[in-house]
Structures are given as C-alpha cells and as structure tokens.
Amino acid sequence: MEKKIVSDKSKLMNKTESELHYVKIEPKGDEYMKVWVKDPTFLQLEQAQMKLFNINAQQKDVQMDIVEVYHYLFEAFIDRTEPSLGPLDLIRLNPYVGNQIKSILPDPFGMMEEDPELKEN
C-alpha cells in the first residue's frame, strides 16, 4: 500500500508562537495572571526526561530529582508572564500558583506517543 508523504514540512515542526493561559492566583479569588507557554520540541522533552535522573557511575547510584525536572520546565517553556516575573520570582511562587502553572506546562512523560504502525514496517 502506497503511503502519502507529507509535503508541508511545517506540519512536522512545533508551533513558534507561545500559547496564552490565564492562571488564577487564589482558589476563591477573582484575580489572574497571564502566562505564555512555549510549544516543546522533541529534544526539549527528551532533555526534560533526562533531568529526572541523577546518575553517579562511580558510586553506581541513580537518584530521581523531580524538582530538577520542574525547574527545567519552568525555565524552558515559560515565555513570559504578566505581571512580569523573572527566574527568581518563578522559583518563589506560592504552592497554589506554582501548581496552576505546572498544570499548563508540557508533560515530558505523557507527550511521547509512538505510532503502533511504525513497528510493523
């Protein structure tokens, strides 16, 4: 069976424009902040996955560090915010706001889908 080959290579690339999200700053409040999130590339998601593990070959030790993953995700995918927050501000967010932002960031462990047909050929 003949397979149709993509002719528009832009279909293969991630979006270049960040996506705007409104993040509530208090559970019962009516104020929001704006957060623009970048679309991830394949290699950025791979890099985020690798941040989870700290491997010490000399001691034959592997440790998991989810904090390092989230630090990378915040740094790599938050394009800008309103009000404007710098990197230091982002690591000092209260838990409620931090969790709201975490929920809109790319999930490096859930976005890696494989096509089952790929293994057939």
Task: Place 63 in a pLDDT band, splitting at 50, 70 and 90.
Answer: confident
Q: How far apart are CA 88 and CA 90, in angstroms?
A: 5
Which are the contacts of 55, defined by CB distance < 8 A and separation ≥ 6?
61, 62
Which residue type occupies 75? E
The structural domain count of the chain equals: 1
52 part of a folded domain: yes
118 part of a folded domain: no
Q: How far is CA 26 from CA 32, 45, 94, 97, 99, in A?
A: 8, 30, 10, 7, 11
100 part of a folded domain: yes
3 state SS of 29? coil
Structural domain range at position 25: 16-108
pLDDT at position 115, please?
A: 58
- Rg over alpha carbons for the chain, rounded to the nearest Å, is 18
pLDDT at position 114, please?
A: 63
84 part of a folded domain: yes
46: DSSP letter: H
The residue ranking higher by pLDDT, 67 or 76, is 76
Q: How far is CA 5 from CA 8, 9, 11, 41, in A?
A: 9, 10, 12, 21
pTM for the model: 0.79
Task: Place 17 in a pLDDT band, splitting at 50, 70 and 90.
Answer: very high
The structure tokens listed for 75 are 């740094």
pLDDT at position 92, please?
A: 92
121 part of a folded domain: no
